[in-house]
């Protein structure tokens, strides 16, 4: 990672990448899909990006526990820390495997999210390449390989300085991001758009189309479900058909994207048949939304996606697309 920070030195107006070597310390066992090799694959692919690209690669300091309290319950954070220290093998559910260094990885990923929030506040754009992922985590709940909700952390860090800020959150991981969705289910300042597999057939079994928010947030959630085995063309079409439903509710100041790649046809979960070109087209379209509504302020987070080949090949091309769009304003 040091090679990447020296190859892409800090430039404030470039597209910012945030990652941290401690994110690799979360060891979950060889038979668990969410391995350090996922992020290593992304980094290996990014090492082949041209140094001439307008990319700035940074390793921000890990978050302080107190900073994570912007979103999470302190008792929950302390329980997670002590479970790691005491050598527990999982936390709150069997799929959340932990190791002695997991809390260090959690703090490192949180630090990347907080740095991304500062970039967005400064009118910039960037991508947090972190693990463990975050979109299933609730205020005091770890679930679906997630411990800290990075998207919520960015929202709250920005709101601390801009209490009236509004957000469009787009989640294209094949699993519904129920952690974030239910944290803000009644919040009219956050429009959540998620595209995922039909909840009858896939974890976390939430995110039905009729779940559209509640109270003041009624209508601010748009859950689009697709049958398992959907093609990439069907998947991509949903952005055209439904993404712009936020326009009736708010003009977002910021666009945040939960970028999961487990709808890919090569993903070992084998849920859908989305191809590289569909993901690239989706992200390009999202950049256009950010440019048209949010003055280019887009922040992305690595969520799921378990094919190391896909991560190594596809993530760098997406980063290149975003960096060129960000600098070129196209």
Site for Zn ion, rule CB under 5 A: 173, 175, 260, 262, 304
In the chain the first and final C-alpha atoms are separated, in Å, by 29
Active-site residue, selected from the candidate residues 20, 72, 135, 136:
136
32 among known catalytic residues:
no
Only one residue has tokens 């041209």, namely 50
- Least distance between Zn ion and beta carbon 165 (Å): 27
Which of 97-103's residues contact partners 24+ apart within 8 Å by CB, and which partners? Answer: 97/28, 97/29, 97/32, 98/26, 98/28, 99/25, 99/26, 99/27, 99/28, 101/22, 101/25, 101/26, 101/27, 102/25, 102/26, 102/27, 102/132, 102/147
Handedness of CA 69, 71, 75, 78 (dihedral sign): negative
Residue 124 or 207 having the CB closest to Zn ion: 207
For the bound state, the minimum distance from the C-beta of residue 190 to Zn ion, rounded and expressed in Å, comes to 20
Which residue number places its CB atom closest to Zn ion? 304
| Of residues 173 and 253, the one with the C-beta less far from Zn ion | 173
CB of 105 to Zn ion, least distance (A): 18
CB of 130 to Zn ion, least distance (A): 15
Measured between alpha carbons, how far is 29 from 18 in angstroms, rounded to an integer?
A: 25
Give the Cα separation of 49 and 45 in Å (integer). Answer: 7
CB distance 201 to 286 below 8 Å: no
Task: Give catalytic residue positions.
Answer: 136
């Amino acid at each position: 990672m040091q090679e990447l920070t020296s190859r892409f030195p800090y430039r404030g107006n470039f597209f910012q990448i945030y990652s941290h070597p401690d994110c690799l310390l979360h060891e979950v066992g060889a038979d668990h899909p969410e391995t350090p090799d996922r992020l290593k694959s992304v980094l290996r692919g990014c090492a082949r990006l041209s140094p001439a690209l307008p990319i700035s690669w940074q390793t921000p300091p890990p978050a302080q526990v107190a900073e994570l309290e912007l979103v999470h319950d302190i008792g929950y954070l302390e329980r997670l820390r002590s479970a790691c220290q005491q050598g527990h093998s999982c936390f709150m559910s069997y799929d959340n495997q932990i190791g002695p260094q997991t809390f260090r990885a959690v703090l490192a990923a949180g630090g990347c999210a907080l740095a991304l929030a500062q970039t967005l506040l400064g009118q910039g754009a960037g991508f947090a390449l972190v693990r463990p992922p975050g979109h299933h985590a609730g205020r005091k709940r770890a679930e679906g390989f997630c411990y800290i909700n990075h998207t919520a952390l960015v929202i709250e860090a920005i709101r601390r300085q801009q209490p009236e800020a509004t957000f469009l959150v787009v989640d294209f991981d094949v699993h519904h991001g129920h952690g974030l969705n239910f944290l803000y289910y009644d919040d009219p300042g956050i429009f959540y758009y998620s595209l995922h597999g039909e909840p009858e057939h896939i974890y976390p079994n939430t995110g039905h189309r009729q779940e559209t928010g509640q109270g003041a947030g009624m209508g601010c959630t748009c859950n689009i479900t697709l049958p398992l085995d959907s093609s990439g063309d069907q998947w991509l079409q949903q952005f055209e058909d439904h993404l712009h439903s936020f326009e009736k509710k708010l003009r977002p100041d910021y666009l945040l994207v939960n970028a999961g790649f487990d709808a890919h046809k090569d993903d070992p979960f084998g849920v859908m048949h989305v191809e590289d070109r569909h993901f690239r087209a989706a992200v390009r379209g999202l950049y256009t939304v950010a440019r048209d509504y949010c003055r280019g302020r887009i922040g992305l987070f690595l969520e799921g996606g378990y094919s190391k080949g896909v991560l190594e090949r596809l993530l760098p091309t997406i980063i290149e697309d975003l960096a060129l769009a960000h600098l070129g304003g196209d």
